[in-house]
Structure formats: structure tokens, C-alpha cells
Amino acid sequence: MPKKDIDHVVVRRGRTVNDKEVSIPVATDLTTVPGIPTRESDVSFYSTNYPLETHNIEKTADRDWIWTVYDEKLYKYLERHDELVDPLIEASEGSAELEPISIPEKRVDVTNQIREKARNLGFGEVGFTRFDYHYAFLAKKSWVQYEHVICLAIEQDYIMTQSAPSLEAEQAHYGAYELEGALLLDLAEYIRGLGYHAQVHSPNDNSSVFIPMFVAAGLGQLGANGQLLSPHFGSRSRLALLTTDAPLTHDDPVDYGINNFCKECQICVNRCPGRALVREKVWWRGVEKFKVIYDRCRPIMGRYSGCAICIKTCPIQRYGMKPVMEYYVETGEVLGKGTENLEGYDFIEKGHFSPGQLPAFDRDTFQIPKGTNEDWLFEEFKTKLKSGQKISQEYATKFADSVKEVLEKGKITRD
């Protein structure tokens, strides 16, 4: 006899275009709200008075620092990755200005046509909602055009992901973005062929925080690891957006049970090498969520090949949402919790860690440049002054040249 009562069942299309639909049972004690608990007035307040900005502008100091700690193989791989995605980013930047190449049928809803095309191209998750400017980055807010947003996710290679942290797992991560960037341009061209504009939001030059719109489109819910947990891929989804003026029907948010499941599971919290994940939710900018501690996550990601232990050890990622939720209904337990199969991992230079064991790091591991490059330059300068060190003319000239170089570089939003 099942240990848990079922509140509702979510029916989703199959993992690929040819797969059968799946039914995901959601236990009564996991049921909360569709999407995520939100205080809309708070979301509006923060977006108006404290608008979001991309990491690539707000945290340029650690963005540049991270390249100095990559090992040689990863460094060379990411250089090649940048060469591959640069033309895709450039094509995306001007995509909104490209005119449709046909005359549309009058006000014919094209939601299903676009959904089928996207699925046939290889996107595993496709959803439709409005573009939410509350989550647009300040530097890109005026760039965004068209009210409807198509949320698109592609699967990061399953086998390669399970090797994290590793070069192979990072190749799966970045390789998915390379493929996705090209597929987005193909889908945009298809939409123009229907008679409408299409603007590609490159996953390598984010216009906004993507996850809230994926949640609004019913494609998953926010996990304790700060990732979208989608039905088929869990946190192995790589996300992108496309905005359009095509007539579309919006999807609704869904309660997959994740809001409460993550409180029950806590595996990623327990297994995080950097202790960057928290056990209790907080209200952050109008949303109730598990808040990742950036200053404990970023240093480990940078020094250890992207880390990704929180992705690797997530049961939704490892086994899929349907098996995990079915197991919970039957047993009242989290599939794989406490097992070597799910929770054990090898960590670069540190060895193997079984359930209950974590790597140790010294304090210097977490000391990384913070803020913008100019902020960090001035911080270093102030530290030198406070220590009583003499400021030589050579140092002062070098400092001034460094500040000038940073300011001339300007604000760059792309990765």
C-alpha cells in the first residue's frame, strides 16, 4: 500500500519527440502552489528600485579571475568554445531587426506549430509565457523586444554529466550551449517564415534571469541547488529564450511538488563541497527560495572544473522526476538518498567522498576578487595604503593604466 496520498498527477510530453507522454504523481504533502511562492508587490519594488544586472557586468573581477585558475586542458577547451559561440552570439544580437519573410495568416494562433518545430529540432522542453521585465538585466532591458517569450531547454549529455567535476562534464555543459545557440537561430528563421519577428536571447549573452519564465511556462520548479528542475532532465537542462510578436497561447505554471520535495530531500545541500547551499528557504526579492551563497559557490566552481556536484547528486537529474515521485508516493522516501550510487563522488585532487563525507578547503580557497574590476583595483590600492606600504611612481602609473584599461573596455554582457 502506498505510503503517501496523491494530490494530483502532472501529464507531460515524452523526453523526445517520439517518446510517449509521462504521468508524474504529486503527493499531497509535497503540494504547494503552481510555480513558486511569490509576492508580486515585492518583485515589482525590487525590480524598480534595485534592478537586476548580469554577473558579466556586476562581477567582472571574478569573471576574469576564473580564467587564471582553470587547468590547461579546460582553458584550451573554453577558448575553442568561445570561438564557436561568438558568431552565434553576434547573430542573436541583431536578430530582432530581421524582417519576416512571408505574410502571416490573420491572427492564426501558431503555438502548436512552433512547439512541434522546436521539438523536432531537438529541444526537450518548450513552453510559452510573457516576457517578464521584472527579471530583465539592466544592461539588456531596452534591447528586449516583443511580448511573448518561448522558453527552450536542451539536454546536457547524461553520461558525461555524471563524471562531474571533470573536463568531460564541462564539455557536456558547454557543448549543449553550442548546439542550442545554433538551434535557436534555426527556430527564429522558422518563425520569420510564418510571418513574424523573432529575437534570439543567446544562452551565452543572457538578457535576463531565465528560470522565472521557465517556471511560469510550466517547465519545472526551482530546486534547492538554484537550478530549474525539469521533468525529464532535472538540473541537466540548458536554457535559452526567444521573444516574438507571433500570436501565442501562454502555458500555465505547474506544481510538480518540487517546492516541498527539496525540503525533504536536501541531498545537494548535504553534498555541496563548498557548503554553498542552505537548508531553509528565505524570501529574496519577492520570491521564496533556497538562496545559493555565491561567495562559497563561485570559488569552488572556478578551481574545480565547474564542480556541479549539486547537479550530479540531484535525484531528479539522476533518475528523472517520474521515478523519483513514484518512489516517494510508494515509500515516503527519497530515491537514492544515502546511497553511494547517488551521493558518492570523486573530487579533483581530494579523493573519493562517500555519503556523509566532504572535502576540506583552507580559507584562501574562498578568497577571490569581488565586484567589478575597477572595484577590485581600488580595493587592492586601499589595502596597500592601509598597510603602510610606500606607493612608488611605477606602481601608481601601473594602477592608473589598469583603471583606464578597465573603463575603456566598457560593459560587456556576453560570457
How is residue 272 annotated by DSSP?
A: -
Residues of the chain with pLDDT under 70: 403, 406, 408-411, 414-415
Dist CA 203 CA 56 (whole Å): 13
pLDDT at residue 394, as a whole number: 76
Cell of 15: 523526453
pTM: 0.94
Dist CA 329 CA 337 (whole Å): 15
The secondary element (H helix, E strand) that includes residue 262 is: helix 258-265
pLDDT at residue 361, as a whole number: 98
pLDDT at residue 410, as a whole number: 66
Dist CA 400 CA 82 (whole Å): 30
**Spatial CA neighbour of 241 closest among 289, 209, 275, 278:** 209
Pick left, alpha or beta for residue 126 (phi over 0 → left; psi -120 to 50 → alpha; otherwise beta): beta
Contact 373, 399 (CB under 8 A): no
